[in-house]
């Protein structure tokens, strides 16, 4: 008896034979489980908590350095678990008209103010003279913002974005040569931005 005749007898005397639909087989391998879990997690592939909070709370305001503020808060959130407290437009000062802090956050149970800047030069190489001018301006502004704010943060962070490791080394070496009263109670965080983050941070706006 051939296979065809056996199949015909089964259809005639027994239950009808139904063809299974052609469905792609998905192997539940350990590799696929790892990929699915990594894809569904938010950090470091999705949008983090600081990014969501910034986007919602700043949608009614216009700020020209919004991207680097968001990326700064996102970095502190992913590295140290920082929680956003107030954005630049929510921090109050008296008297007004002085230097501003970009945002405040809670870091290791301590409230800190964060100022964000870029170490860059449109023409030529960024050298120590440029780094000294930038750090003196920003650190002095941090001190003024701390004196005039109505908030109660315990420490300030100056977050400096750099386009390369060379510029980061220049900023770090220049910082150690500054007077102690300018450094004051400020922690300087230097970060090298690369790839898509570099385009968001250093675009001219």
**More confident site: 133 or 63:** 133
Q: What is the 3-state secondary structure (H, E, C) of the chain?
A: CCHHHHHHHHHHHCCCCCCCCCCCCCCCCHHHHHHHHHHHCCCCCCCCHHHHHHHHHCCCCCCCCHHHHHHHHHHHHHHHCCEEEEECCCCCECCCCCCCCCEEEEECCEEEEEEEEECCCCCCCCCHHHHHHHHHHHHHHHHHHHHHECCCCCEEEEEEEECCHHHHHHHHHHHCCCCHHHHCCEEEEEEECCHHHHHHHHCCC
Strands 155-162 and 110-118: what pairing? Answer: parallel
Residue 65: predicted pLDDT: 67
Look over the chain and give the mean of its residue pLDDT values, rounded to a whole number: 79
Name the band, by pLDDT with cuts 50, 70 and 90, for residue 64.
Answer: low
- List the beta bridge partners of residue 115: 158
The CATH code that applies to domain 48-202 is 3.40.1350
Residue 204: predicted pLDDT: 58
Name the band, by pLDDT with cuts 50, 70 and 90, for residue 26.
Answer: very low
CA distance 54 to 72: 11
Which has the minimum average pLDDT: 1-5, 74-78, 164-168?
1-5
Name the band, by pLDDT with cuts 50, 70 and 90, for residue 197.
Answer: confident
pTM of the predicted model, to two decimals?
A: 0.72
- Residue pLDDT, tens place only, 93-151: 999 889 999 999 999 999 999 999 999 998 899 999 999 999 999 999 999 999 999 99
Q: Where are the domains of the chain?
A: 48-202
CA distance 200 to 110: 29
Residue 196: predicted pLDDT: 81
- List the beta bridge partners of residue 105: 84, 112
Q: What sign results for the dihedral spanned by CA atoms 166, 168, 171, 174?
A: negative
CA distance 33 to 175: 47
| 133-167 residues labelled b (16+ CB within 10 A) or e (exposed) | ebbeebbebbbebbebbebebeebbbbbbbbeeeb
Q: Other CB atoms closer than 10 Å to residue 1's CB: what's the count?
A: 6
Q: 165, 157, 170: which is closest to 193 by C-alpha? A: 165
């Amino acid at each position: 008896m051939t296979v065809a005749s056996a199949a015909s007898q089964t259809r005639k005397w027994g239950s009808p034979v139904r063809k299974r639909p052609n469905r792609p087989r998905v192997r539940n391998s350990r590799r696929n489980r790892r990929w699915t879990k990594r894809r569904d997690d938010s950090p470091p592939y999705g949008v983090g908590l600081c990014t969501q909070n910034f986007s919602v709370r700043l949608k009614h305001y216009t700020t020209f350095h919004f991207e680097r503020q968001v990326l700064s808060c996102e970095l502190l959130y992913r590295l140290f678990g920082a929680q956003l407290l107030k954005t630049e437009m929510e921090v109050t000062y008296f008297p007004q008209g002085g230097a501003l802090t970009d945002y405040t956050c809670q870091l290791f149970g301590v409230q800190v103010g964060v100022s964000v800047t870029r170490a860059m030069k449109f023409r030529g190489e960024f050298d120590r003279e440029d780094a000294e001018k930038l750090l003196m301006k920003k650190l002095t502004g941090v001190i003024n913002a701390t004196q005039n704010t109505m908030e109660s943060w315990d420490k300030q962070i100056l977050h400096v974005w750099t386009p390369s490791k060379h510029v980061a080394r220049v900023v770090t070496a220049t910082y150690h040569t500054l007077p102690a009263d300018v450094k004051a109670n400020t922690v300087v965080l230097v970060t090298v931005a690369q790839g898509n983050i570099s385009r968001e941070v250093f675009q001219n706006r």
